[in-house]
Each structure stands twice: as structure tokens, then as C-alpha cells.
């Protein structure tokens, strides 16, 4: 049985991917901030042998460290760091946002995912894939329309830090930054272009397609390279 560790699997994209991996016969270890009652717990109720849930807030380094210790004897084929957030007022400019809100978004979307990657990488098999949920809005080249400045900056920072990580670790394994497309979730909003149901199989295919391709890539839901 192949295994994936998903950080942030309670709802939205992370949860839909957890469900899709279980449907394809994988074992999923997913993290939640709540102890019970999330859609991830519902998947576990239906497939108790295929799902483990560990409680983690990605912004608490001691909880990431405890997660590592708890899982130290397991090896995963894929690590997916999916947890992410947006600033409450997405139309504010970078100069209008408060330092507190800027820090919350940057810590959740850039610092904490990288701390999770660093701490959990050794739980991934040497040829396994390390992936992080980025966004097309993290592309500087493709930013021709502006907007969502705080969020864009956090995902651009995440991309930069993953490149540093890939260079430092010499890109010896598959590593992926995902631009999943605009998807209907709490973060994406109801007017988003894609549903979770149509997105999950494509994103799982994208993750599986990384096998045997060492090095860092930034790819969209169709496996096309996204310009940095």
C-alpha cells in the first residue's frame, strides 16, 4: 500500500485529495487542527484502515516536531503540504494591510510550510515526492493584472524558499509546487472556475506523474510548467 502524508486535510483541496487517494487504494495520514467532526474524520469513519489523523497546527513548530516524532517509523511516498490561508480583505494593497495580518499570511503560507518540509522530509522515501500547494498567483512573470497582493507575495515567497531548498538539497528527489487553478473552496470562493470534484482526480494524477522525475517543478493542474 502506498502512503501519503497531507498537512491540512480537513476541508477544501486537501480533503478532496485525501478522499481521492483513499479511493485509489492509498493510505492517507492527514492532519487536522480540530479533534473531531471535520470532513477528514468522516472519510476516516468510512475507511478506518486507510486513514490516520494527527492533530497539527502548522504554525506551531513544536506540533510539527511532535508530528515528526510520532511518525518517525513510517515512510511516505508523497508529502503534500497543503495548509494555507488568505488575508481577510483580499482587495487591500500591501501598504494597506496591517503588520499583524501580513505576518499571519506570510507565516502560514511561506514560513510554516518550509518548516514542515524541512522537518518531515526524512519521513519521505528517498525517491518519494515532496510537494507544496502554491498558486498561480505566486508567479511573478504571470502577474499582469495585480490584485490579492498579500496572498500573491506569500506564495511568491514560498516558491522562492522551495527553490532555495531544492538547490540546497541538490534536487535529488521529485519536488513540486502546485498551481491548482481557481477552485471552489472556502478560500477560493463560490464563484471560482473549477469544482473540487473535477479538480481532485487531476491533482492526484499530477502528483503521481512526478515519480521518477528528480528536481523542482512549478506546474499547473494539467502538468504544464508555470513561469516563475
Ligand X SMILES: NC(=O)c1ccc[n+]([C@@H]2O[C@H](COP(=O)([O-])OP(=O)(O)OC[C@H]3O[C@@H](n4cnc5c(N)ncnc54)[C@H](OP(=O)(O)O)[C@@H]3O)[C@@H](O)[C@H]2O)c1
The contact set with ligand X (CB under 6 A) reads 8, 10-14, 32-34, 57-59, 82-85, 108, 133, 135, 180, 182-183, 185-188, 192
Residue 68: Cβ-neighbour burial (10 angstroms; 0-12, 13-18, 19+): middle
Closest to ligand X by CB, 198 vs 214, is 198
The residue (of 12 and 153) whose beta carbon lies closer to ligand X is 12
* Residues linked to residue 81 through DSSP beta bridges, in sequence order: 7, 132
Region of 12 (left: φ > 0; alpha: ψ -120 to 50; beta: rest) is left
- For residue 18, CA distances in Å to 39, 65, 122, 154, 207 come to 10, 22, 21, 25, 12
In this structure, are residues 155 and 138 in contact, taking their beta carbons and an 8 Å threshold? yes
Q: How far is the CB of 8 from ligand X (least distance, A)?
A: 4
Per the CB < 8 A criterion, the answer to whether 24 and 71 are in contact is no
* Shortest distance, position 3 Cβ to ligand X, whole Å: 19
How near is the Cβ of 188 to ligand X at its closest, in Å? 3
DSSP 8-state symbol, 174: E
Residue number with CB closer to ligand X (44 or 82): 82
Nearer to ligand X by Cβ, of 60 and 164: the residue is 60
Nearer to ligand X, 143 or 214 (CB): 143
In the complex, minimum distance from the CB of residue 131 to ligand X, in angstroms, rounded to a whole number: 11
**Residue placing its CB nearer to ligand X in the complex, 163 or 214:** 163
Q: Provide the H-helix boundaries in the chain.
A: 12-23, 39-46, 61-70, 99-106, 112-120, 149-168, 196-208
Torsion (CA) 150, 85, 175, 52 in degrees, nearest 10: 170
Measured N-to-C along each axis, helices 149-168 and 112-120 cross at an angle, to the nearest 10 degrees, of 30
Q: Which is nearer to ligand X, 126 or 197 (CB)?
A: 197
Least distance to ligand X, CB of residue 72, Å: 20
Residues 30 and 128: their CA atoms lie apart, in Å, by 17
Rounded to the nearest whole angstrom, what is the least distance from the CB of residue 211 to ligand X in the complex?
A: 22
Give min distance, CB of 187 to ligand X, in A: 3
Amino acid at each position: 500500500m502506498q502512503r501519503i502524508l497531507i498537512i491540512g486535510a480537513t476541508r477544501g483541496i486537501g480533503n478532496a485529495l485525501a478522499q481521492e487517494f483513499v479511493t485509489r487504494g492509498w493510505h492517507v495520514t492527514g492532519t487536522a487542527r480540530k479533534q473531531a467532526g471535520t470532513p477528514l474524520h468522516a472519510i476516516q469513519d468510512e475507511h478506518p484502515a486507510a486513514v490516520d489523523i494527527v492533530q497539527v497546527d502548522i504554525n506551531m513548530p513544536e506540533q510539527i516536531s511532535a508530528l515528526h516524532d510520532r511518525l518517525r517509523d513510517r515512510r511516505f511516498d508523497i508529502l503534500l503540504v497543503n495548509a494555507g490561508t488568505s488575508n481577510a480583505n483580499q482587495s487591500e494593497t500591501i501598504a494597506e494591510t496591517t503588520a499583524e495580518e501580513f505576518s499571519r499570511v506570510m507565516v502560514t503560507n511561506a514560513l510554516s510550510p518550509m518548516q514542515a518540509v524541512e522537518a518531515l522530509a526524512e519521513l519521505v522515501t528517498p525517491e518519494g515526492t515532496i510537494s507544496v500547494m502554491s498558486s498561480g498567483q505566486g508567479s511573478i512573470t504571470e502577474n499582469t493584472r495585480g490584485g490579492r497582493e498579500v496572498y500573491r507575495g506569500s506564495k511568491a515567497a514560498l516558491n522562492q524558499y522551495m527553490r532555495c531548498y531544492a538547490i540546497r538539497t541538490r534536487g535529488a528527489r521529485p519536488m513540486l509546487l502546485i498551481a491548482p487553478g481557481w477552485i471552489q473552496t472556502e478560500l477560493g470562493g463560490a464563484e471560482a472556475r473549477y469544482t473540487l470534484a473535477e479538480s481532485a482526480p487531476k491533482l492526484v494524477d499530477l502528483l503521481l506523474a512526478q515519480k521518477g522525475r528528480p528536481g523542482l517543478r512549478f506546474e499547473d493542474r494539467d502538468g504544464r510548467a508555470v513561469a516563475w
